[in-house]
Amino acid sequence: MFTGLIRTVILYILIIAGIRLMGKRQVGELEPSELVLSLIIADLASVPMQDFGIPLLTGVVPILTLLSLTMILSVLTMKSVRFRAVLCGRPSIIIRNGQMDQREMARNRLTVDELLEELRSKGYTDPSMVKYAILETNGQLSVLPYANQKPPTARQLKVAVEEGGLPLVVVSDGQVLSHNLRALGRDRAWLEKRLQERGCKSLEEVFLMLVDESDAIYLARRAV
Amino acid sequence: MKRLWIAAGLLVMLLLASLGNAYYARELTGGMTDRLGEALTLAQAERWEEAEALTRQVYRDWERHHTYFHTTMRHSDTDQVLRAFRAVMEYLAIKEMDQYAAANADLVTQLELLAEMEQPSFVNVF
């Protein structure tokens, strides 16, 4: 039991550190090499976790090797466009000027049903509404509609809109996030005054408070 | 570029560690198998006490390196070596030549295989 506990902690920390080193992209969008890495690491970690007859090193050494290789590959893909194309592939244009490129679809083993499903999920029911649909290297379909299919922007409508700025969390679950308050150029006294204005006697009453650069405030009280 | 060098350095370190481990395992078990061979020669010359003392010395050596073997080798393999040691020492105690020779040969093979597993050879990789 003790061995299993310690091994799990060690392997978990090792994997978290490795994933963290690879950057945020690993979490959401997996390139082929990253997907392979994730699958292998999960298996490598689970075996010595369960089987105490195998030394921990037989799990740690391959994981460290894989993480090193991935780091080398990620640096090389950043430095070389050609290497990036080899390792990650190139984006494929599936729809061009409303026309489906059947050869590209076959090459990427993308069926019509899958393509239509992806288009529907992005709000397009008909390929003819789409100027370009590009299958990205991470498997996501980017859809660029014809200009006449896009919703008009405020600039196109010549409407003046107020710029809100980035809202920052100032109070989260009763805790003041001082660094965000400082980033907004405000202090505790300002915060307390704003809370009083909104009828909050103490911070404990606040579940979430967001403030943006134009001092617009969103306040959610804690449920009683 | 710093990440590239760190990763490359780590890979080189792992490679050197694995090669170092292969060399160390061969040297360690090689010394043990040589002495077990000497013990067999002593037993064949009816010098049972000396053969037993030499085998015990090898066993103590094995015990001293227990942590190393346990952290780098499969536990089932190291347990098998331990069982083989115990059998050899029992046959030495009762001075049973045929059984001792067979158990000693088994122990030597186990130790050789233990080191062989770690060697950077084509056969091991594939």
Stretch B41-50: mean pLDDT, rounded? 94
Q: Round to whole Å and give the CA distance between A68 and A60.
A: 12
Q: Which residue has the higher pLDDT, A171 or A10?
A: A171
Q: Say whether both A28 and A46 belong to one domain.
A: yes
Query: In which band, very low, low, confident or very high, does the pLDDT at B3 lie, cut at 50, 70 and 90?
Result: confident
Name residue A162's amino acid.
E
Q: Which of A31, A62, A86 is the last residue of a domain?
A: A86
**Cα distance from B39 to chain A (closest Cα, Å)?**
31
Stretch B51-57: mean pLDDT, rounded? 95
Q: Say whether both A200 and A141 belong to one domain.
A: no
Is A55 within 8 Å of B8 when comparing Cβ atoms? no
Catalogue the long-range contacts made by B64-71 (C-beta closer than 8 Å, 24 or more residues apart): B65/B28, B68/B24, B68/B28, B69/B114, B70/A55, B71/A55, B71/A56, B71/A57
Q: Which residues of A touch B1 (CB under 8 A)?
A: 75
A160 is a domain residue: no
Q: Which of A102, A117, A149 is the last residue of a domain?
A: A149
Is A55 within 8 Å of B73 when comparing Cβ atoms? yes
Stretch A199-205: mean pLDDT, rounded? 89
Q: Is B39 exposed, middle or buried (0-12, 13-18, 19+ CB in 10 A)?
A: buried
* Model confidence at A3: pLDDT above 80: no
Q: Say whether both A135 and A76 belong to one domain.
A: no
Q: Which residue has the higher pLDDT, A15 or A190?
A: A190
Q: Say whether both A76 and A106 belong to one domain.
A: no
A156 is a domain residue: no
Q: Round to whole Å and give the CA distance between B40 and B100.
A: 8
A155 is a domain residue: no
* Model confidence at B27: pLDDT above 70: yes
Domain CATH for A117: 3.30.240.20
Stretch A178-205: mean pLDDT, rounded? 91
A162 is a domain residue: no
pLDDT of residue A74: 84
Q: What percentage of chain B has pLDDT greater than the value 70? A: 100
- Full residue range of the structural domain in which residue A60 is found: 2-86
Find out whether B58 and B36 touch, Cβ atoms under 8 Å.
yes
Q: Which of A86, A112, A140 is the last residue of a domain?
A: A86
Which of the residues B4, B13, B124 would you substitute to probe the A interface, choosing the one with the greatest number of A C-beta atoms within 10 Å? Answer: B4
A154 is a domain residue: no
Residues B87-122 pLDDT 10s: 999 999 999 899 999 999 999 999 999 998 888 887
Number of separate domains in chain A: 3
A163 is a domain residue: no
DSSP string across chain B = -HHHHHHHHHHHHHHHHHHHHHHHHHHHHHHHHHHHHHHHHHHHTT-HHHHHHHHHHHHHHHHHTHHHHHHHS-HHHHHHHHHHHHHHHHHHHTT-HHHHHHHHHHHHHHHHHHHHTTS--HHHH-
Stretch A90-107: mean pLDDT, rounded? 92
Q: Say whether both A34 and A57 belong to one domain.
A: yes
Q: What domains does chain B contain, in order, with CATH numbers?
A: 2-120 (1.20.120)
The region of weakest confidence among A148-152, A209-213, B21-25 is A148-152
Q: Say whether both A9 and A60 belong to one domain.
A: yes
Residues A126-149 pLDDT 10s: 899 999 999 988 788 999 999 888
Q: Say whether both A15 and A47 belong to one domain.
A: yes
Task: Give the A window 73-102 contacts with B, CB below 8 Å.
Answer: 74-76
Q: What global pTM score does this model have? A: 0.66
Q: Coil, helix or strand for A135? A: strand
